[in-house]
């Protein structure tokens, strides 16, 4: 049981929440010339799926199952494998808070969360499903406009993160500027780039993000490729095993892409050239970060490829120093990270609930944080669950504090 000295803040700001794209979003908001390519919900083998370029991505409901994992097995909805998806529809199975901003606010308030940085849900899939650059640009424009409309319910508490396609750097800069001017507080870029983030073509983009003061977010599953998006559970692949199970890739490599991208940026001097640039690792957890920092430093100091006329950072700075100045980590459930938090830096860590996704801590965020924050001082907890996110994304803590007082009094 946490003591008064170690108890967490009574309310929180989430660095990772989501909204769920309604079925008609792209059909009603995309430009006429691309309407034939608009992602849509279709029945595929009896399952309502998001379909793009003729290929199915994921079932409509997958992005919105918050709370299911806390239900007893006997009453929990059966959503474990594709064979059980048959009767699921967006209308019946997507949590209303995913697409109704008033319910979004009420749900999060009930969970002790009074503000959130808001990311897409299914739109991430289109990085891997849409090959045509112009079509993807228009998909993201349609999503971005809807996200800003969603946030208009309460701009103090709902802070949208725009989606950007970096295939065309000029277009990405224009869209980032347009969305920043309309109230977006950050931009989402692919967690993995086909040509690597050390490529010269990104230099103008890094400069623009720095000048616009737009934090760049690399969210899990936002991989830019044209290989498509498949199911993420083993099902009937191993007949001698009774039932599906989580793929090894989901367990041992979900953070591989963000680590690769950060190495490309840090070791090639992106942050040396653009010291004001801030990059956020989102939903990749973070207990890997201390070892990752150690490995970058070792290779920089001792690997002959680096020391023998290799690229050098400024002065005595090491790669890990740029993590502490230019990289933030959004985590959800990572008790191991809490034990190593000082190695990354308290000011670099932000908690996020992942509402309303199946992995979300909703509606038990408070108790789950208590389990993670054992022996973490209260002031450090407040830094990670309130202050860092508020500072980065422009939440007015005084306004949120006043809002919580009003809510508690009513």
Q: Where are the domains of the chain?
A: 12-37+96-409
DSSP string, 189-240: --SB-TT-TTSGGGHHHHHHHHHHT--EEEETT-B--SS-----EE-SSSTT
**What pTM, to 2 d.p., does this model score?**
0.93
Q: Which residue has the higher pLDDT, 228 or 329?
A: 329
User: Residues 324, 275: contact at Cβ < 8 Å?
Assistant: no
How far apart (Å, rounded) are the C-alpha atoms in residues 105 and 20? Answer: 14
Q: What is the pLDDT of residue 2?
A: 54
| Residue 408 binned pLDDT confidence (cut-offs 50, 70, 90) | confident
Q: Which residue has the higher pLDDT, 5 or 331?
A: 331
CATH 3.20.20.140, applies to 12-37+96-409: yes
Pairing of strands 47-52, 186-188: unpaired
Given a cut of 60, whether residue 99 has pLDDT beyond it is: yes
All residues at 6 or more sequence positions from 140 whose CB lies less than 8 Å from its CB, including other chains: 123, 126, 162, 163, 164, 165, 175
pLDDT tens digits, one per residue of 35-60: 999 999 988 877 788 898 888 777 77
Three-state DSSP state, 50: strand
* Mean pLDDT computed over 165-180: 98
């Amino acid at each position: 049981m946490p003591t008064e000295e170690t108890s967490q803040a009574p309310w929180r700001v989430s660095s990772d929440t989501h909204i769920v794209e309604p079925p008609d979003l792209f059909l009603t908001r995309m430009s006429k010339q691309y309407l034939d390519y608009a992602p849509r919900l279709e029945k595929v083998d009896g399952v309502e799926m998001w379909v793009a370029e003729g290929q199915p991505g994921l079932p409509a409901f997958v992005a919105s199952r918050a709370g299911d994992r806390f239900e007893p097995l006997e009453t929990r909805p059966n959503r474990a494998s594709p064979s059980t998806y048959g009767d699921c529809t967006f209308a019946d199975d997507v949590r209303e808070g995913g697409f109704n901003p008033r319910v979004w606010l009420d749900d999060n308030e009930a969970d002790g969360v009074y503000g959130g940085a808001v990311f897409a849900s299914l739109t991430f899939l289109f990085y891997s499903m849409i090959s045509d650059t112009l079509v993807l640009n228009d998909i993201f424009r349609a999503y971005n406009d809807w996200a800003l409309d969603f946030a208009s319910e309460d701009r103090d508490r709902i802070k949208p993160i725009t989606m950007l396609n970096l295939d065309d750097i000029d277009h990405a800069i224009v869209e980032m500027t347009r969305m920043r001017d309309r109230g977006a507080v950050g931009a989402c870029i692919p967690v993995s780039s086909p040509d690597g983030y050390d490529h010269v073509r990104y230099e103008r983009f890094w400069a623009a993000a720095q000048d616009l003061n737009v934090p760049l977010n690399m969210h899990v599953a936002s991989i830019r490729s044209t290989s498509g998006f498949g199911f993420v559970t083993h099902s009937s692949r191993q007949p001698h095993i009774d039932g599906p199970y989580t793929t090894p890739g989901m367990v041992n490599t979900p953070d591989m892409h963000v680590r690769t991208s950060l190495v490309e940026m840090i070791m090639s001097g992106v942050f040396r050239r653009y010291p004001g640039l801030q990059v956020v690792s989102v939903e990749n957890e973070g207990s890997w970060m201390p070892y990752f920092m150690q490995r970058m430093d070792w290779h920089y100091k001792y690997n002959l490829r680096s020391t023998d006329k290799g690229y050098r950072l400024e002065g005595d700075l090491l790669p890990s120093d740029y993590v502490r100045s230019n990289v933030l980590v959004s985590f959800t459930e990572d008790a191991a990270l809490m034990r190593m938090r000082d190695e990354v830096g308290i000011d670099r860590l932000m908690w996020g609930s992942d509402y309303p996704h199946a992995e979300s801590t909703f509606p038990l965020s408070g108790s789950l944080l208590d389990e993670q924050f054992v022996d973490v001082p209260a002031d450090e907890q407040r830094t990670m669950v309130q202050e860092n996110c508020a500072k980065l994304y422009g939440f007015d803590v005084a306004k949120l504090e006043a809002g919580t007082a009003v809510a508690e009094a009513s």
